[in-house]
Amino acid sequence: MRKHTDSNDIIAFEAVSKAYGTGDAALKDASLSVERGSFTCIIGPSGGGKSTALKIIAGLEEPTSGTVMKPDHVSMVFQSGALMPWLTAGENAALPLEAQGMAADKAAREARKWLRMLGLRGLEGKLPRELSGGERQRVGIARALAVNPAMLLLDEPFAALDPKTTDDLHRDIVDIWKETGKTIVMVSHSIEEAVALSTRILLMKDHVVRKTFDIDLPHPHRAHAVAFSREVAHIRKEFFK
């Protein structure tokens, strides 16, 4: 059994439960850990507690019982992008910086830097409705990174995108992970996506982490590796067990 308080862990849950109202618990004595600098994916059948675990990490929900070690300063990217429709891409990305008290011109410069890193040069002045789904999601990621969080949380960020856009974003998120060295925790509904991106996969079932898989495949072009399909098949078996 892995110890959950390794000094290299940035997140550690010990026997964490979360009940909403009088309903069944979303998490039941769940323990998990996330290594600093890792790219961790949480997968599992619907209703297993993935989003609840992510919300607790984000500080959006409090556990009912158990102990949680996590950094305070984290950024979350939602599936929809969650942009303000009346603000431009640049203004959206600068908003959290201004909310932190940064002067508007400095925040705009910093936001522009991250938008460019996400491949959005020249689109800073566009409104969300003038952007594609993939571009909106890129603005969401730029906005999340602009505040220099200790960790980036992604809740099924690519679920609503077409396969080509998803492929491009997969490549870019791995590049960003490597360039920034940030810990990434991502909830995904796709086993293939989790194997393509992450260094570790947590399989959540019945409100606990049922299995942990370490993925040791080279980036990029992982999906072309022979071992890729083997890994996916292995995890799929556990997923549907």
Chain residues that interact with ligand ADP, rule: CB under 6 A: 20-21, 23, 26, 44, 46-52
Minimum CB distance to ligand ADP, residue 230 (Å): 26
**Least spacing, CB of residue 197 vs ligand ADP, in Å:** 18
20 vs 86 by CB, closer to ligand ADP: 20
Nearer to ligand ADP, 6 or 206 (CB): 206
Taking the least distance from each CB to ligand ADP, the nearer of 48 and 63 is 48
Which residues contact residue 208 at a Cβ distance below 8 angstroms, ignoring those fewer than 6 apart?
27, 28, 29, 30, 31, 49
Taking the complex as a whole, the smallest distance from the CB of residue 60 to ligand ADP amounts, in Å, to 10
Shortest reach from residue 74's CB to ligand ADP, in Å = 17
- Least gap, CB of 20 to ligand ADP (angstroms): 3
Cα–Cα distances in Å, from 95 out to 106, 148, 173? 11, 14, 22
Query: How many angstroms separate the CA atoms of 241 and 162, rounded?
Result: 29
Distances, alpha carbon 238 to alpha carbons 48, 99, 212, 234, in Å = 14, 44, 10, 7
The tokens describing 205, both together, are 């079932």
- Count how many residues are written for the chain: 241
- Kindly report the number of other CB atoms within 10 A of residue 59's CB atom: 14
Q: Which is nearer to ligand ADP, 19 or 227 (CB)?
A: 19
* Closer Cβ to ligand ADP, 23 or 122, answer by number: 23
